[in-house]
Structure 1
């Protein structure tokens, strides 16, 4: 067996039906700021209700890709309220906003995911400005507690379930070839892909959430690669929907990166190659398969390829061909 390094990240995970009812037991803070989208606020309030007057405020100006202006306002709100803990109830954008606060204020985050984004398991943060999307890694933004309750994702609209689960799958697929890949994370990645594919097939929120948890844990250890570089550029520069973009790009990057490292993914999908398995799955669950359908302007293809190539060792002609296929 080849030599490897595996670093387990700190954090506590609580998984199972009814887990959201334990939020008050998992929060040690006395001045809690609740973060949610306007649509998710009623659920967040219900989950936070046992905290009583320990909740000192709410922040609902959550936006996809975490614009810098939103991050600055969220930090200002946390300072104004003298918050000592953040309760993030929602998807990746909500958790990402909490991370933007903690990146500067070092506040503990308790995350209650309601989608399959996986951001709650990673020390990766991201913010978007007019110059594009900037990302980084810091243990200061890694949630201290993550509470997974399948009941909170069971009512997701089917279209969102599909794109969110494919987004999670992208974490695991990339995790087998990223710079930090190792035998332990590859085992987790294969199990994640099996769980996500099974969950999409039988609409099992429990399988999907389990797979998403593993996918986030894989990504947290291995780091990102070509797939995420492409998706971050497309999302940040052209305001494309995050999860759907991952869904479209994933099979194309898998085909480009095809090799022995991706064999566990192919096996998990019962396919000859990872790319063919991902394409078949996308077709079966009616996932988006073209950038054009997401609103990406064909005239920007060369520009996007240049932006990605500037952040990647992959030659620009290869990036251009990959994006053209995805278009």
Structure 2
């Protein structure tokens, strides 16, 4: 079969090394010649942020971080950055923290160095998200892509196992969705498959021992690959659904992705046999769903959307919001009826099976 595709590779520097975050950050701040640094980190990340920034001069710290980046929070952070003539944003944290830095960069053009403490992957994408009036909007803008990403497995040791599992499965969702997203191609599919393999190897090690360095490094490596593949392939059915659930009903980001993922895989896999074969090979199982279900059982993964505050009565509304934004290129045609069935199963936590 002829190979015919186009692929864009995002330009970004990655510094990876356990115990080297402070050193790597200082090196990058010097390389960029920054003089007025704005540190963005949530209060619960303040101790980590202080350790990471000990070798640089921080002009101002900003801590008002909220998940799904409400527009009013973004506007306030932008105001602070402009008033203080900031020339570099340093964000230390997970997806919400990185998302806030991106919101500032989108309108100001100030570059970002992202120091990741979870497996969210936002730091490796040019995708932004903002929530206004209970609706989450996402888009793509190269201005929001961090110029440098710093990964240090030691910074993830304090992430509880339950949250590590949810965050890691969020990364897994980036990988799986990338295999049939609108711009899926052989390169991002290869990255996604390697990401699945790395996450499937690392996450069980973390579940057994939260300070297993190899497990943490494998998970970070997999999270980066997942994000790079997602940035290239675009947002597929899974992410469209989860953005609606998060933005409209304020469900927790990582747990929502972790819960919905097996239902989307079960929905699409029979209609995407080549993608399913890649997923299965990465898990070393006969089908992708078998591999994912085994991993989720091993990790005691999130099971049901009702456990995170989603109401059964809201399914109809969620379907009406999500259905128009699900890509037409999705392997299986999506209707109001089968999408409602998927969400009801995810709400209840029934075992996902391919139809």
Mark yes or no: TM-score above 0.5.
Answer: yes
> 1:196 pairs with 183, 186, 199, which one?
199
Residues 49-88 of structure 1: pairs in structure 2 closer than 5 A: 49-52=54-57, 55-88=58-91
Q: Which residue of 2 aligns with 1:269?
A: 283
Per-residue deviation, 1:172: 0.5
In 2: Cα distance, 1:82 partner to 1:299 partner:
47
Equivalent residue, structure 1, for 2:341: 321
Aligned position for 1:285: 299
* Contact 2:103–2:128 (CA under 8 A) maintained in structure 1: yes
Give the Cα separation in 2 of the matches to 1:148 and 1:26.
13
How many residue pairs match? The answer is: 325
Distance in 1 separating the partners of 2:102 and 2:299: 32
- After superposition, the C-alpha distances for 1:160-217 in whole angstroms (9 at most, x for unaligned) are 1000000000000011111111111111111111110111121210111110011111
Q: Once structures 1 and 2 are overlaid, which stretch shifts more, 302-311 or 138-147?
A: 302-311
**Are the counterparts in 2 of residues 177 and 262 from structure 1 also a CA contact under 8 Å?**
no
2:100: which partner in 1?
A: 97
Confirm or deny: 8 A CA contact 1:124 1:137 kept in the other structure: yes
Q: Give CA deviations for 1:38-76 in whole Å, capped at 9, x if unaligned.
A: 011122122112113xx2101100000001111011001
Q: Which moved more, 1:66-75 or 1:181-190?
A: 181-190
In structure 2, the residue matched to 1:172 is: 175
Q: For structure 1, which segment, 300-309 or 265-274, has the greater mean C-alpha deviation from structure 2 after superposition?
A: 265-274
**Cα deviation 1:220-278 (Å, max 9, x = unaligned):** 11111100000000001111000000001101111111122221111111222222321
Contact 2:121-2:226 within 8 A present in 1 as well: yes
Unaligned runs of 5+ in 2: 207-214, 329-333, 348-355
1:44 and 2:52 are equivalent in the alignment: no
1:306 match: 320
User: Quick one: distance in 2 between partners of 1:272 and 1:69?
Assistant: 48
Alpha carbons 2:192, 2:225 under 8 Å: kept: yes
Could you tell me whether the CA contact under 8 Å between 1:62 and 1:94 is conserved in 2?
Answer: yes
Aligned counterpart, 1:2 = 3
In structure 1, which of residues 241, 245, 249 is the aligned counterpart of residue 256 of structure 2?
A: 245
Q: 1:205 aligns with which of 202, 208, 216?
A: 216
How far apart, in 2, do the equivalents of 1:131 and 1:198 lie?
Answer: 37
CA contact (8 A) 1:132 1:233 kept: yes
The secondary structure found in structure 1 opposite 2:260 is helix
Q: Are the aligned partners of 1:251 and 1:276 in contact in 2 as well (CA < 8 Å)? A: no
Q: Secondary structure at the match of 1:310?
A: helix
Contact 1:191 1:268 in 2 (8 A): yes
Given the alignment of the two structures, is residue 185 of structure 1 paired with residue 196 of structure 2, yes or no? no
Moved more, 268-277 or 299-308: 268-277
Matched, 1:161 2:164: yes
Cα deviation for residue 131 of structure 1 reads 4.1
User: Which position in structure 1 is the counterpart of 2:247?
Assistant: 236
Separation in 2 of the partners of 1:266 and 1:159?
A: 25
Q: CA deviation at 1:218?
A: 0.6
Mapped to 1, the partners of 2:195 and 2:135 lie a distance apart of: 30
